[in-house]
């Protein structure tokens, strides 16, 4: 039996159309789900994203207004870096943020995924930065954030990054 190149092309075309249709259905499903977010999830998402935007732009008045008095900010990693926490309570966090800002300069940031469920938000993305202790660039890395909000205030900011790469850059290695 001779192979039928036209038949193979048609099969590949149909598979491609099916995959494209599946991808479109998935993306529409995700968009529909986001539009149908319950009120608590939407409020949590809005609070956390507003806080992230305020911190990122240096708008400390807005950021402070979005912080619960008992907020916890957790950065884990090499404890020789001055911004490794946890930092507990608004006053401790406000004292720590200028230390972080003086030691880490973000050079690239992109949120790639973000979603909320109830009082919790998850954000994932790509970033890069320079540690001012050594002046070295960290190199592109991914991050994850788990945040919680209550009554329009952020109560938890739990940051995950490539702490090894950050530490290496901080120490000039």
Q: What is the pLDDT of residue 56?
A: 87
* pLDDT tens digits along 55-76: 988 899 999 999 999 999 999 8
CA 46 to the chain's CA centroid: 14
Q: Among all chains, which residue has been given the structure tokens 């000039």?
A: 172
What is d(CA 55, CA 34) in angstroms, rounded to the nearest whole number? 24
pLDDT(25) > 70: no
- The domain ranges of the chain are 1-36, 39-170
Q: Among all chains, which residue has been given the structure tokens 């400390």?
A: 60
Query: Which of the listed CATH numbers 3.40.640.10, 3.10.450.50, 3.40.718.10, 1.10.3430.10 matches domain 39-170?
Result: 3.10.450.50
Contacts with 156 (C-beta within 8 Å, 6 or more apart), sequence order: 71, 72, 74, 146, 147, 148
What is d(CA 52, CA 106) in angstroms, rounded to the nearest whole number? 13
Q: Say whether the peptide bond before residue 86 is cis (omega within 30 degrees of 0).
A: yes
The whole-model pTM stands at 0.75
Average pLDDT, the chain: 82
């Amino acid at each position: 039996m001779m192979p039928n190149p036209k038949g193979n092309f048609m099969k590949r075309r149909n598979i491609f159309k099916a995959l494209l249709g599946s991808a479109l259905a998935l993306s529409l499903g995700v968009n529909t789900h986001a539009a149908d977010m319950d009120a608590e999830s939407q409020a949590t998402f809005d609070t956390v994203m507003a806080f992230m935007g305020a911190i990122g732009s240096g708008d400390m008045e807005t950021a402070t207004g979005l912080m619960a008095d008992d907020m916890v900010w957790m950065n884990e990693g090499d404890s020789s870096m001055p911004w490794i926490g946890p930092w507990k309570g608004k006053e401790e966090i406000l004292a720590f943020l200028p230390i972080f800002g003086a030691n880490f300069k973000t050079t690239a940031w992109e949120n790639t995924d973000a979603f909320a469920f109830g009082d919790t938000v998850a954000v994932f993305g790509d970033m890069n930065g320079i540690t001012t202790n050594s002046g070295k660039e960290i190199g592109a890395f991914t991050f994850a954030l788990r945040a919680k909000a209550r009554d329009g205030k952020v109560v938890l900011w739990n940051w995950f990054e490539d702490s090894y790469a950050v530490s290496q850059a901080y120490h000039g290695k």
